């Protein structure tokens, strides 16, 4: 590669010193420099010789492992560009010698060298006798066997990852056949011979890992019919090989998922797997957790793979189902039950079908037992003594506590599966029964300070919450008995929390059964006086759901609701304030239209007063906490603007009572904005409020629009913050030409407003480097997408269209995902105007108008296409984050569709500009041949395959590329300049 400065020396001593720096107690700067040095070393041509020298030296193991890993990368990415074809056999000879040297270990280095040899074998297409050469070169002693097994294990894995290697699809397909399909019988025989060579070989975990790897390539029936099957199952008797053998059997089972194609194989495997059932008790009694996990995974995999067979023949497969249930039941420490969850779900998917109703009836008792097991597993751990700290049931182990919480939600999903099999009422009856049992045993012993065995009461409450989504509004068997019990729960923090969460989950049911509303709602209101922050947060969330689902029932209490809201608001944390505000706003929204203005004043005037107080307190102070309090409070006002909407909309010419209120409030919001234009969070929150006003109230916002447009224009001109562009985009969308009942003069005024905002942004980008403006660029190109979408007939022919396009490809030098994504979406939307059938959203335009606009876009693309291709390819190969690849390649694909010949030329020219030494002319030629082949077929499927070709090429280039210190050379992005006068 050409650079203006010499590359650093990359000898063994330099690499060793960098490694010592990385592991030593040095400054972060020194570590970063060492890391960068090692990255440059790995991509340099001298890394070949240096890595081999290190591997042949007495360096420490971690340095040698780094050298082996470096060698792996060199063979993967740099073989074709840095090693002459005539010297590649010498690389193979060197690798085989190193493998022989490291056959005794260390294992990580040996495995890396095996991977190196496998990748080399894939690329050495003339090497036809890979297996015999490797076996004969490594020898016949025990250490060599270990090395051969490692090589055999990694070979299929590396072949299936072959897309990262620079072979054509046809070459890779042929090589896959040569290395895997044609070698499969010999590999099976080799493994059989090895297994029979000694008792130690027959229980060597490496053997089973190797079989597992080749099961992707060898028909599973070939293994099942061979002596290997008995060898694998016999290995389950040895502790050292149990896990590897169990994983191998799991893979065999997975390969039989196509039931009808593998009936014979399943008939062989099923009795052997069922015969493992006695081992469940043994591994539990031996407290052998790892073997317990492997055994459960194996049984769960068998159940999932054969779920449809179980549904067809439940009696025949019942022992397997019972074994999986036993694994779940014996799992006192919740170590393995999660490995059964997929099975219960997969089986449920079949049992709910009408054709398997008989199987569902036969297995009903299994799911009923499963509910009982899950209810027990859902329980929090019991305190070891009455004096133990009930608030810390996990002895300070926060990780264990978090794992338990996550685990409960997974079990909740399985409870939903049980509901679908048994019926919701039957599952709820088990919850009801568990609560009744606790009441009979312990209710009389509970008091304000102690609730015995509360865990046994909390678990059914949690399960009831988990089942909530499955319960219909018309359930009338169990819930009418359960609901009165909930509001009588003993006073315990976790019980109250669980009850609140249940009540909040069943608000749709409560809305259909209004007799239960009052005691539930009162229970929630009382909970706000609890000392627990967790309970208060849960109560606020529950209020939101009650107000949303029972909004019509609560209409009678809207005044009392406001009194409660105003009294409690300042005592709540921020998130809870937002939740309760959303709830009460929803209740206000369903009041009669004639009451909306009065109620908005009742609820929001106190909020506005709080806002002004907070703003006055924060004004002129350096402390940002007061300003952040203003920004947070604005969110509450936004929620009212968002949710209190007149539906159906008022008639044209009629005053909207909600907008009438916001028109009164608007000057106050404007004054707050003007006072804090230099504080982004406040600007963003006010703009968010206005954006929701426009989105929610739409055409009714017309009276406020002129004042809002002035504020947005002056706000952006002063602060240069992208949030002012959000609202501009919302206005564009809601008042575009194709909207009904929008005055044409207003749409023209709004487009002029958009034009002025866009002009200001372009001038701003000219003044300040785009690298310093990622947020503004993101917001601007999202706005430009709206301008193109809603005003194409005005925007495309305008003098502004070409400068905006130039700005778009000029900012592709950015490396942040969000602004790049927004810009690439805009570019893609423009390019799509050039295809034969533009997007259907332009149906309001005539065919003549569409043709005129298409021609204008194609003319622009022909003029700027090569520069655009340069920027897109430079980004894909060098600077873009990976998330942007799909958008960039999509734009290129559309260019290929519109201008295939020109785009091929632009791509070819761009690739010839890449820094010397990073890609060869042969590789560019081969890449271009692939592209032309796909384009020549006139098949849209083949054209789409260009995306994969681009991905392979750019990924390979990214790995090789070392950025020159003098920049990107001919691919360097140029600074955007705009001199528009409009």
Q: Does pLDDT of 270 surpass 80?
A: yes
Per the CB < 8 A criterion, the answer to whether 697 and 651 are in contact is no
The torsion of the CA quartet 704, 706, 709, 713, rounded to 10 degrees, works out to -140
- Cα–Cα distances in angstroms (integers) from residue 808 to residues 68, 154, 306, 826, 905, in the given order: 43, 45, 53, 8, 22
Most confident of 40-44, 193-197, 343-347, 961-965: 343-347
Closest-CA residue to 733 (of 638, 654, 841, 590)? 841
* 253 class by beta-carbon count within 10 Å (0-12 exposed, 13-18 middle, 19+ buried): buried
Looking at residue 802, what is its pLDDT?
95
Is 547 in contact with 586 (CB distance < 8 Å)? yes
DSSP letter assigned to residue 656: P
What integer pLDDT is reported at residue 838 of this predicted model?
62
pLDDT for residue 965 is more than 60: no
pLDDT-derived band at 970, boundaries 50, 70, 90: low
Q: What secondary structure letter does DSSP report for 644?
A: -
Q: Does 738 score more than 60 pLDDT?
A: no
**Terminal C-alpha separation, the chain:** 46
Please state, in angstroms and rounded to a whole number, the distance separating the CA atoms of residues 694 and 642: 9
User: What pLDDT does 305 receive?
Assistant: 96
Q: Please tell me the distance from the alpha carbon of residue 806 to that of residue 418, in angstroms, as a whole number.
A: 59
Contact call for residues 577 and 538 (beta carbons, < 8 A): no
Tell me the C-alpha to C-alpha distance, in Å, between residue 551 and each of 465, 557, 709.
Answer: 21, 10, 35
Tell whether omega for the bond before 645 is within 30 degrees of 0, i.e. cis.
Answer: no
Are 892 and 950 a contacting pair, CB within 8 Å?
A: yes
pLDDT at residue 981 in the model: 53
pLDDT higher than threshold 60 for residue 404: yes
pLDDT at position 396: 67
pLDDT over threshold 50, residue 605: yes
Helix axes 847-874, 801-810, angle to 10 degrees: 20
Tell me the pLDDT band of 497, cut-offs 50, 70 and 90. Answer: very high
Give the containing element (helix H, strand E) for 826: helix 817-832
Residues in Cβ contact with 405 at an 8 Å cutoff, skipping those fewer than 6 apart: none
Summarised one tens digit per residue, pLDDT across range 49-98 is 889 999 998 888 888 999 999 999 889 888 887 888 889 999 999 999 99
Per-residue model confidence (pLDDT) at position 758 = 92
Q: How confident is the model at residue 724 (pLDDT cuts 50, 70, 90)?
A: very high
What was the pLDDT predicted at 370?
Answer: 97
Alpha-carbon span 203 to 209, nearest angstrom: 11
**pLDDT > 50? residue 963:** no
**Residue 552, SS3 per DSSP:** coil
Average pLDDT over residues 738-746: 70
Lowest average pLDDT, out of 739-753, 758-772, 848-862, goes to 739-753
- What integer is the mean pLDDT of 191-202? 91
Which DSSP state fits 335? S
Asked whether the predicted pLDDT for residue 617 surpasses 50, the reply is yes
- Under a CB-based contact definition with an 8 Å cutoff, are residues 305 and 288 in contact? no
Model confidence pLDDT, tens digit, residues 427-473: 999 999 999 999 999 999 988 888 999 999 999 999 999 999 999 99
Handedness of CA 508, 513, 514, 519 (dihedral sign): negative
- Separation between Cα atoms, residue 565 and residue 606, nearest integer Å: 11
CB atoms within 10 A of CB 626: 15
Residues 827, 222: Cα–Cα separation, whole Å: 54
pLDDT at 6: 44
110 burial via Cβ count (<10 Å: 0-12, 13-18, 19+): buried
Instruction: Please answer whether residues 182 and 131 qualify as being in contact, where contact means their C-beta atoms are separated by less than 8 angstroms.
Output: no
HSE-up of residue 360 (Cα within 13 Å, Cβ side): 17
Q: What is the pLDDT of residue 340?
A: 96
Q: pLDDT value at position 5?
A: 39
Confidence at residue 645, expressed as pLDDT on a 0 to 100 scale: 93
pLDDT value for 940: 64
Residue 484 in this model has a pLDDT that exceeds 70: yes
DSSP state of 217: T
- Exposed, middle or buried, 530 (CB in 10 Å: 0-12/13-18/19+)? middle
Q: pLDDT at residue 648 above 50?
A: yes
Position 967 confidence tier, pLDDT thresholds 50, 70, 90: very low
**What's the pLDDT tens digit per position in 560-602?**
999 999 999 999 999 999 999 999 999 999 999 999 999 999 9
| Banded pLDDT at 982 (limits 50, 70, 90) | very low
The per-residue pLDDT for 690 is: 96
Residue 130 to residue 630: CA distance in whole angstroms:
71
**In the structure, what pLDDT confidence band is assigned to residue 164 with cuts at 50, 70 and 90?**
low
The average confidence (pLDDT) of the chain is 89
Q: Mean per-residue pLDDT for 733-741?
A: 70
Percent of the chain whose predicted confidence (pLDDT) is above 70: 93
Asked whether the predicted pLDDT for residue 822 surpasses 90, the reply is yes
Q: What is the CA radius of gyration of the chain?
A: 35
Residues present in the chain in total: 982
CA distances from 491 to 247, 482, 495, 530, 946 (A): 48, 18, 7, 11, 65
* Integer Cα distance of 117 and 99 in angstroms: 9
- In tens, the pLDDT along 765-802 reads 888 887 778 889 999 999 999 999 889 999 999 999 99
Q: What is the DSSP letter of 739?
A: S
Label residue 4 by pLDDT band (50, 70, 90). Answer: very low
Gap between the Cα atoms of 118 and 179, Å rounded: 10
Q: What percent of the chain has pLDDT over 90?
A: 62
Look at residue 387 in the predicted model and tell me its pLDDT: 45
């Amino acid at each position: 590669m050409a650079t203006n400065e010499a590359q650093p020396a990359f000898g063994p001593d330099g690499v060793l010193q960098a490694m010592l720096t990385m592991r030593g107690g040095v400054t972060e700067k020194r570590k970063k420099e060492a890391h960068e040095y090692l990255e440059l070393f790995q991509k340099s041509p001298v890394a070949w010789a240096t890595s081999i020298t290190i591997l042949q030296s007495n360096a420490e193991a971690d340095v040698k492992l780094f050298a082996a890993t470096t060698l792996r990368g060199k063979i993967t990415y740099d073989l074709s560009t840095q090693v002459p074809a005539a010297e590649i056999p010498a690389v193979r000879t060197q690798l085989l010698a190193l493998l022989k040297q490291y056959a005794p270990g260390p294992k990580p280095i040996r495995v890396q060298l095996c991977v190196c040899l496998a990748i080399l074998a894939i690329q050495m297409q003339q090497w036809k006798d890979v297996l015999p050469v490797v076996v004969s070169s490594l020898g016949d002693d025990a250490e060599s066997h270990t090395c051969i097994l490692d090589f055999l294990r990694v070979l299929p894995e590396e072949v299936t990852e072959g897309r990262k290697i620079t072979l054509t699809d046809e070459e890779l397909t042929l090589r896959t056949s040569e290395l895997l399909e044609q070698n499969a019988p010999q590999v099976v025989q080799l493994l059989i011979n090895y297994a029979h060579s000694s008792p130690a070989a027959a229980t060597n975990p490496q053997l089973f890992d190797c079989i597992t790897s080749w099961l992707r390539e060898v028909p599973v029936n070939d293994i099942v019919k061979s002596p290997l099957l008995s060898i694998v199952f016999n290995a389950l008797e040895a502790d050292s090989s149990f896990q590897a053998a169990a994983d191998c059997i799991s893979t065999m089972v997975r390969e039989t998922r196509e039931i009808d194609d593998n009936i014979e194989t399943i008939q062989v495997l099923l009795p052997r797997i069922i015969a493992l059932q006695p081992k469940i008790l043994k591994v539990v009694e031996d407290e052998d957790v790892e073997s317990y996990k492997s055994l459960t995974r194996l049984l769960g995999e068998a159940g999932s793979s054969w779920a449809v067979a179980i549904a067809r023949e439940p009696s025949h497969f019942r022992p397997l189902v019972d074994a999986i249930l036993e694994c779940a039941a014996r799992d006192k420490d919740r170590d393995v039950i999660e490995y059964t969850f997929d099975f219960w779900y997969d089986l449920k998917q079949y049992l709910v079908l009408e054709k398997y109703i008989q199987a569902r009836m036969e297995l009903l008792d299994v799911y009923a037992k499963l509910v009982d097991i899950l209810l027990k597993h859902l329980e929090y751990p019991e305190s070891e003594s009455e004096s133990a700290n009930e608030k810390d049931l996990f002895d300070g182990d926060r990780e264990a506590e978090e794992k338990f919480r996550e685990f409960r939600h997974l079990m909740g999903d399985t409870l939903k599966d049980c509901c679908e099999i048994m019926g919701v009422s039957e599952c709820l009856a088990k919850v009801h029964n568990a609560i009744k049992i606790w009441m009979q045993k312990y209710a009389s012993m509970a008091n304000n300070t102690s609730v015995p065995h509360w865990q046994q009461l909390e678990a059914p409450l949690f399960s009831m919450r988990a089942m909530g989504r499955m319960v219909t509004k018309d359930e009338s068997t169990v819930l009418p008995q359960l609901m009165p019990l909930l509001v009588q729960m003993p006073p315990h923090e976790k019980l109250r929390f669980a009850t609140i969460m249940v009540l909040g989950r069943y608000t749709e049911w409560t809305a259909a059964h209004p007799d239960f509303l009052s005691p539930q709602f009162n229970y929630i209101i009382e909970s706000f006086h609890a000392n627990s922050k967790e309970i208060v947060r849960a109560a606020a969330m529950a209020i939101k759901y009650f107000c949303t689902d029972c909004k019509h029932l609560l209409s009678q209490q809207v005044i009392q609701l406001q009194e409660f809201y105003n009294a409690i608001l300042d005592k709540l944390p921020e998130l809870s304030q937002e939740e309760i505000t959303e709830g009460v706003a929803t209740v206000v929204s369903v009041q009669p239209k004639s009451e909306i203005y009065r109620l908005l004043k009742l609820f929001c005037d106190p909020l506005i007063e709080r806002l002004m107080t907070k703003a006055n307190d924060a004004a002129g102070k350096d402390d940002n906490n007061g300003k952040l309090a203003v920004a947070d409070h604005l969110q509450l006002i936004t929620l009212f603007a968002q949710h209190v909407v007149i539906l159906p909309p008022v008639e044209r010419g009629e005053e909207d009572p909600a907008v009438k209120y916001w028109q009164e409030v608007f000057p106050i919001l404007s004054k707050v904005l003007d006072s804090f234009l230099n504080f982004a969070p406040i600007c963003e929150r006010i703009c968010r409020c206005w954006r929701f006003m426009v989105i929610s109230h739409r055409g009714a916002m017309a009276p406020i629009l002129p004042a809002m447009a002035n504020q947005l224009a002056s706000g952006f001109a002063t602060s240069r913050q992208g949030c002012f562009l959000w609202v501009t985009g919302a206005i564009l969308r809601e008042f575009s030409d194709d909207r009904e009942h929008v005055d044409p003069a207003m749409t023209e005024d709004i487009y002029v407003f958009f034009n002025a905002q866009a002009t200001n942004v372009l001038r701003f980008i000219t003044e300040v480097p785009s690298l310093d403006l990622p947020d503004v660029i993101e917001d601007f190109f999202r706005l430009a997408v709206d301008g193109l979408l809603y005003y194409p007939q005005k925007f495309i022919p305008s003098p502004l269209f070409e400068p905006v396009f130039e700005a778009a490809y000029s900012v592709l030098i950015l490396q942040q995902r969000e602004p790049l994504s927004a810009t690439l979406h805009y570019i893609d939307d423009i390019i799509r105007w050039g295809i034969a059938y533009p997007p259907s959203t332009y149906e309001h335009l005539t065919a003549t108008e569409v043709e005129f606009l298409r021609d204008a876009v194609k003319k622009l693309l022909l003029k700027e296409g090569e520069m655009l291709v340069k920027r897109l390819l430079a980004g894909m190969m060098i600077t873009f984050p990976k998330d942007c690849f799909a958008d960039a390649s999509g734009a290129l694909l559309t260019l290929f569709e519109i201008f295939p010949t020109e785009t091929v030329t632009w791509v070819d020219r761009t690739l010839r500009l890449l820094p010397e030494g990073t890609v060869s002319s042969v590789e560019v030629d081969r890449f271009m041949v692939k592209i032309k082949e796909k384009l020549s077929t006139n098949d849209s499927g083949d054209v789409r395959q260009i995306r994969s070709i681009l991905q392979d090429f750019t990924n390979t280039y990214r790995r090789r590329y070392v950025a020159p210190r003098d920049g990107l050379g001919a691919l360097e992005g140029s600074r955007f300049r705009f001199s528009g006068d409009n």
